[in-house]
Structures are given as C-alpha cells and as structure tokens.
Structure 1
Amino acid sequence: MTLKWLISSGLVILIAWKYYVIVYNKEPTVQPLVDLSKFDSTLFNTSSVFRVIDKDCEIKIQPKIHTGDIYIAMAAKSAPKNFERRQLTRGLDWSVVPPHRGKVHVFFIIGQTDDKEVQREIEKESEKYGDILQYSLPDGYRLLPYKTITGLLWLNNNLNHARFVGSMDDDQILDTGLLVQILEEKFPGADLPDQNNIQCIQKFTNFRPNRDSRHYGSKWSVSFEEYGQEKWPPHCYGWFLLLGPELAGKIGMAASDPDAPFLFMDDIFFTGILRERVGAGIDWLAKGEWHRWILDFFSPCYAFNWYRLILFQDLSFPRNLTVFHWSVCPLIEQVFHVFPCQPID
C-alpha cells in the first residue's frame, strides 16, 4: 500500500507540474522567420572579405582542408593564448569512427591578438599542425558570437560535404566512443543526418536570464536592455553540438539580419535566437529513443536539466569543471538567496 501511495503521489505531482508548465509557464515570444532569399550570398563567402553579424571580416590564417569523406568537421573555439588546451584537444581519440564514414577534422578558431609574441607562436603552431583558423576581428569573451558565426560560415563554405559540422569549446573532455555510438544509432547506414535540427548534449526550455551580478555565474548576467523577455528561447548548452552544413550556413547568414537581437552569450544567440529565425529545431545527443523522449519531457524543469548536465551526462564536459561550484552554488542561491560563491571566471 505504501509503495502504491508513493507512486500515485508522484504521478499526481508530475501531472500537476506538467499542467502548470503548459498552461501558466508560457515560452518567450518566438522570433519571426527571416527571409534568407533576400540576402546576397556573396557577402558570406569566406574566401574574401565577408560579413559576420554587423562587421566585415577576413580569414588571416587558413587551416589545411583535407579531401575525401568527412564524418565531422568541428570548429573549436579557442583564445589566442590557449596553446595547452589546443594540444590536449588534438589528443582526442577519433579511431573509433567507422572507416567508411571518413575522417574527423577539428579546427581551432581564434580571433585577432595585439600580442606580437603570441601571434608569432600561433603562426608557428599553424605551420606545424595546419589546424588554426584565425579571423581578423578582436578576440574576447563578449565577442564570442563573432567567433562562432565565423566558424559556421567557414565550415559551410569549405566543408559542406561533411556529414556533420559542429562547434565546441577547446577545454572539453569528449567521450568520442559514446558520441559515435549515439550518431550511428540515430542516423544508421545510409540515413542522412537531420538537416533541420541542432544536435546538443543539453537542451534548456525553461531557462531564465540572470539579472543579479552577485550570482556565481555573474559573467552571464544580462540587463533588460540587452534582453527584455522573462525567459530565454529554447537553446543548447554550448560545450559541444553538431548540425548540418546547410543549417550552419543559414544561421551564419541570419546573424547579419539587422532585426535579429544581438546577445553576447553565443550559445543562446546561436542555438536559441538565430535557430528560431531560420525555423530549425533542437534534438538530443543521447542514446535511445525513449531516453531522448524522457529528456524532452522534463526539459521545462530547470533543476532537472541543470543537474543532469553537471552530474549525469558524460558525453562532454570541461576539464576544469568544479562540481561543487556548478552544483551546490546554484542550489544555495536559489533556495536561500545568499551568494557565498566566487563568480566563475
């Protein structure tokens, strides 16, 4: 009787919560679709000066472009001085990819630096490894959208025959074996990958902007002037994600639409605002159809999603992830409204 009572109570709570989410917890206003046919596609050709959001840009250092089949072409966002991080990422084991799928190519996308010594070292690194993609705009955390969009446009221009293209941070511990298992289960044999969805490790559909600079994640704080809605659009967490080359090009072009609201947080700008503008969706990088359904069902629950990302997903996570800082600090702040934790750098 006790077990039945617990199960029944749990179901009632679950149904009540889901009803609340559907009826009362409205999603933010969806951005209108952008008409890409009105764009001049030559403005986004990365072989010369091209448009990135609201700035003109050019590629300063080109990586080597390999011929043959490409399974994944990945733009890893990196800061100019992150030499050690890039070297660790080069050590990822891609031998798990089935030979008939082709190769995986990871390129490091870097902005311009004023440090001449660092620039010389980057040029040496490029000569040695051939995997540096440097563009002419300044580097910096609040300029990350320019880096991400440059990477998407370059991938679309130069590697549009890849099965997947993607974006990742340069500090990720990535389970390449698990990634290949997920992709081969979702898109087996000759099945073409979904061309209208972004594949991500974590989808947030009920995530609210942080307005408090005392928050442990204060570097992600935004004012109402920067973003006026109460909730973010559904989006991916930007540690690691994949999409089709065509969708990458559409999003890269849509970023230059003057009606698209700019946001310095590139994962929300790219996978939330711009994704909606081109009519694309989000899907989970997770094994099993039922597993993905359950994840999607609970995606409106902020706590479930956050702690699943930090504690239970093991596909991709930062090397310097401090579990206490990322799991206990949010709980203390949300429940007690005190701010004992140092902000994340």
Structure 2
Amino acid sequence: MAPRQSRCMKALICASVLLSLVLYWCGLAASRTGDENVIWRSAAVRPITTGIDFSSLFTSAFPEPSCDPGQVLLILVTSAPWHSEARQAIRTTWAAPVQTPYSWQTVFLIGHTSDDQVTEEIEKEQQKFGDILLGNYLDTYRNLTRKVLHGLKWARDRCQPEYILKTDDDCFVNTDGLPTFLTEHNTIRSGLYAGSLFPREKRMVIREPSSKWYVSRRDYAPDLYPPYASGIGYILSLDAVDVILHAAEYVPPIPVEDVYIGVLADVVGIQVKSSGRFAKHNVKWRVCNYRYLMVIHHLNPLEQELAKENMIKARTACQNSTLITRWK
C-alpha cells in the first residue's frame, strides 16, 4: 500500500502544480495588453515559453559525486572553477567529516571553463576528493541559476536527503548544529523554504543592462520580486525541492538564482520563512553566537578556520546560554 500511496501523492502534487500554472498563465494572458510596459501580477511568468531543460545540464564525461540516500542534510555549495583555495578551506573546516548522529554531506557545484589548465586541475581535484558536481554549462554569473537547478535536480534524483541547503563558497555553515536543529527542533517538516529575506525596497527588479543583476521586462515583467531568501544560504525540504523542480520545467529562468527559486516557490504556493540564523554579513560574532547562527557570509579561508574554532568552542563554552530552538 505504501508505494501506491506514494505514487498517488506524487501524481496529486504534479497535477496541482500544472493546474496552478495553467490558471496562472491564463490570468496573465487575459490581463496583458499590447503595451510591453504593462506590469503583471507578482511572480508572473510569460504565458508561452519553456523552463529549464534539465537534460542539457548533465554531462556524462565527468564522474558525479557519490551519496548515501536518505541523509538528513545535503549541502550544495556554488563555486567557481578557479576557487580551489576556497573549496579546500571548506573541506578542512566546516565540511570536514566528524562523528555525528545525523548524516550530512557537502557537494560543490561547478560549471565548465574554457581554460584547459583549470579544467585539468578540477579533474584532479575530483579524483582526489570526489565532491564536485560538474554541470554542462559555462561557469558564469548569468548561468548561476542553471548551476543551482542542476544541483537540486541531481540531489533530488540521486540522494533524496530530507533537507537541502544551498550556499556559496565564501560562506561558513554551522555543520555542528544545523543537522541536529533540523532533526530535533525544526517543526516544519514539509514545504520548508527558509533563509534571510530582503526588505521590499531590495526586491525591486534591476533594469539597468550594465548590472550583473539585470533582468529584462521580457524575462520578468513585474517591477517587484516576490519575497525570496538570499542566495548566501537557504534551506529546502525535499518535498519543496520536488515541486519547485517540477515548476522549473514550465517557468522561464531568471538569471538571478535566489530570485528564481523565490519565484518558483511563489508559483507553487510555498511561503518563504524569514530566519535570523542566516547572516548576510561577517561581523565579529561572539563564540556563543555560533549556537544560533547556521550560515555566515563573506569569509575568506583564514576566517573559515576561526569560525570553525568558534563553532567547536560553543559546544562547551556557552552551555549556560539559552539554546534557541526556533527558526527566528
């Protein structure tokens, strides 16, 4: 009975997503006029277009990482091909294997480069560590959306973790506390999408072509993005990843990765949860802050080492401080 119920549930999810997208597009088509400057409703997408072609993102010429299905947490780290120092700093700090009751794993997401020497170094790095997922796309900022969707698709299909954290290679992840928090204290087991949100004024669509965050009105018509979590780090439950990936097949990609995830979540009705545990800035955090913070942005390799030391110190040095068990 369980497999049949599982298949039925997946079918219902797919049907629900498709229906919501059809209704969405119909509403948009009805409201659109001949004026290209007309603003559609929030999270609007072009009614006639295609989404992500997932098959084009995978390459068979490069070995994939291995993973144990059913882990508590899989951490996907976006990294540029030439950021080998940052990756190594992560491997020796917060991604280093430790004894833990809750299983987790770290995988680096990298795209292709035209530099043959860098490509050769990446191949050697993969042979040594086996933690790189190479995508079939050029590694540029404008392709970051494809990089992350490739990672999510691979993680969902190959690994089936309970939760996925997407972060960057200049971020520190509190691997001492996050898997435990997700297992023992998190009360949102399904439809989870959590991170550090931007205020309304920071969600205005940038139309200046010279900006790396430029998005044309043709790619995204509204002037305001729906609420979304910063790409420094956001958590998704596996079921949320499932429906987001399905929606991505129909919703045209936006070349701003964290925005696109927010748009997809908005389309399928998943509300992003704001959490102070994701710090956009690296300030002089006290040791006891590491009992609360899960992701910290803007760390160089030396600062990664210091952050790991503080994370370990917080196990014993801060036992008298209150342990916060909520997302806030």
Query: What TM-score does the superposition give when structure 2 sets the normalisation length?
Result: 0.65
Q: What do the CA deviations read for 1:148-190 (whole angstroms, capped 9, x no partner)?
A: 1100100000111x22112111111233345356535632xxx
| Residue 319 (1) aligns with residue 299 (2) | yes
* 1: CA distance, partners of 2:208 / 2:220: 14
Residue in 1 that maps onto 2:121: 121
Q: Is the 8 A contact 2:75 2:166 kept in 1?
A: yes
Task: Let me know the Cα RMSD of the aligned residues.
Answer: 3.4
- Shift of residue 238 of structure 1? 0.6
Residue in 2 that maps onto 1:199: 194
* 2: CA distance, partners of 1:186 / 1:28: 39
Residue in 1 that maps onto 2:32: none
* 2: CA distance, partners of 1:98 / 1:196: 29
Q: Is the 8 A contact 2:191 2:240 kept in 1?
A: yes
Q: What do the CA deviations read for 1:255-291 (whole angstroms, capped 9, x no partner)?
A: 121xx24310010011x2111222212123446xxxx
* 1: CA distance, partners of 2:135 / 2:151: 9
SS state of the match for residue 239, structure 1? strand
- Following TM superposition, where does structure 1 have runs of at least 4 consecutive aligned residues deviating by more than 6 angstroms? 95-98
SS state of the match for residue 233, structure 1? coil
Residue in 1 that maps onto 2:144: 144
Q: Is the 8 A contact 2:73 2:163 kept in 1?
A: yes
Q: Percent identity?
A: 25
Pick aligned residue for 1:280 from 234, 247, 270: 270
Residue in 1 that maps onto 2:92: 91
Residue in 1 that maps onto 2:34: none
Pick aligned residue for 1:210 from 186, 201, 206: 206
Question: In structure 2, do the counterparts of structure 1 residues 227 and 112 end up closer, same or farther at CA, with 3 Å as the change threshold?
Answer: same
SS state of the match for residue 189, structure 2? coil
1:1-345 aligned within 5 A: 29-31=41-43, 52-53=52-53, 56-59=56-59, 60-67=61-68, 70-93=71-94, 99-102=100-103, 104-160=104-160, 162-177=161-176, 179-180=178-179, 182-183=181-182, 186-187=185-186, 193-200=188-195, 202-204=196-198, 206=200, 207-212=203-208, 218-257=211-250, 260-270=251-261, 272-286=262-276, 309-310=280-281, 315-319=295-299
- Shift of residue 242 of structure 1? 1.4
Q: What do the CA deviations read for 1:129-151 (whole angstroms, capped 9, x no partner)?
A: 01011122222110111101100
* 2: CA distance, partners of 1:251 / 1:178: 26
* 1: CA distance, partners of 2:170 / 2:157: 26
Question: In structure 2, do the counterparts of structure 1 residues 176 and 285 end up closer, same or farther at CA, with 3 Å as the change threshold?
Answer: farther
- Shift of residue 249 of structure 1? 2.9
- Shift of residue 219 of structure 1? 2.1
- Shift of residue 251 of structure 1? 1.6
Q: Is the 8 A contact 2:65 2:133 kept in 1?
A: no
Q: Is the 8 A contact 1:92 1:176 kept in 2?
A: no
SS state of the match for residue 281, structure 1? coil
Q: Is the 8 A contact 1:57 1:136 kept in 2?
A: yes
Q: Which runs of 5+ in 1 are unaligned?
A: 1-26, 34-38, 40-50, 288-304, 321-345
* 2: CA distance, partners of 1:152 / 1:311: 27
Q: What do the CA deviations read for 1:112-139 (whole angstroms, capped 9, x no partner)?
A: 2222211111111001001011122222
Query: What TM-score does the superposition give when structure 1 sets the normalisation length?
Result: 0.62
Q: What do the CA deviations read for 1:41-83 (whole angstroms, capped 9, x no partner)?
A: xxxxxxxxxx944772323433432437522112211111111
* 2: CA distance, partners of 1:164 / 1:135: 22
Q: Is the 8 A contact 1:182 1:286 kept in 2?
A: no
Q: Which runs of 5+ in 2 are unaligned?
A: 1-38, 286-292, 301-328
Q: Is the 8 A contact 2:109 2:132 kept in 1?
A: yes
* 1: CA distance, partners of 2:52 / 2:208: 30
Question: In structure 2, do the counterparts of structure 1 residues 245 and 268 end up closer, same or farther at CA, with 3 Å as the change threshold?
Answer: same
SS state of the match for residue 70, structure 1? coil
Q: Is the 8 A contact 1:96 1:177 kept in 2?
A: no
